[in-house]
Chain A
Amino acid sequence: AQTVTQSQPEMSVQEAETVTLSCTYDTSENNYYLFWYKQPPSRQMILVIRQEAYKQQNATENRFSVNFQKAAKSFSLKISDSQLGDTAMYFCAFMKPTGTASKLTFGTGTRLQVTL
């Protein structure tokens, strides 16, 4: 079974600064997908960024980028120019392409607080 570990329960960053959230995972699969989801307070969970394991290039989405280290099974999220609206729980998630099933395995989350 796959496991996803987020070792930082809470983090704080000042507005406009950069912060990196850590995620490690354990799997015997060679092909899989990794995601970062954001869950703002009392709001819906939304996808921040995704990475296909077979792609060596790190994914980026505007201010969000990942550092994907397949051999180390590490998948960290970097948020640049942090904004107050980035305050949320961030979940790292794993999905293996078993047929076409869509099961996500989530980490325990990191609560990010962006301060003035």
Chain B
Amino acid sequence: KAGVTQTPRYLIKTRGQQVTLSCSPISGHRSVSWYQQTPGQGLQFLFEYFSETQRNKGNFPGRFSGRQFSNSRSEMNVSTLELGDSALYLCASSYGTVANEQFFGPGTRLTVL
């Protein structure tokens, strides 16, 4: 099976712009979770989507949003980018039942200038 893929792998944006990141889960997985990884804050949960519905949400401002499509692919959007949004954004997919193993993608490295 192909692993979790994320596109793009690297992205450079300027403050105030918006960005969309994409995550394709492993075939058959219905859950996609997003995490932000920074040196200062570590790994923080953004949100999880299951069967096109947001099922769990972390403590991030409304500028961070996401969605999931019928094929389980997910996108994450950040509007009005701030310097502090520079991070590695990881997505993880799983079957979505309790404590299923989550498989992580390689991440998208976002740099905000």
Contacts and interface: CB of A to CB of B under 8 A. Distances in A.
Interface of A: 33, 37, 43-47, 50, 52, 91, 95, 97-109
Nearest to B48: A102
Given A47-B102, A103-B58, 19 more contacts: A33-B99, A44-B4, A45-B90, A46-B104, A47-B101, A50-B99, A50-B101, A97-B98, A100-B55, A101-B48, A102-B56, A102-B94, A102-B100, A103-B56, A104-B33, A104-B35, A106-B35, A106-B42, A106-B44
Contacts of B89: none
A92 B26 CA distance: 23
Given A91-B43, A109-B42, A104 B104 contact: no
B102 A103 contact: no
A100 B50 contact: yes
B43 A44 contact: no
22 contacts: A37-B104, A44-B4, A44-B107, A45-B90, A95-B99, A99-B55, A100-B96, A101-B56, A102-B31, A102-B33, A102-B56, A102-B92, A102-B100, A103-B33, A103-B45, A103-B48, A103-B56, A104-B35, A104-B92, A105-B45, A106-B35, A109-B42
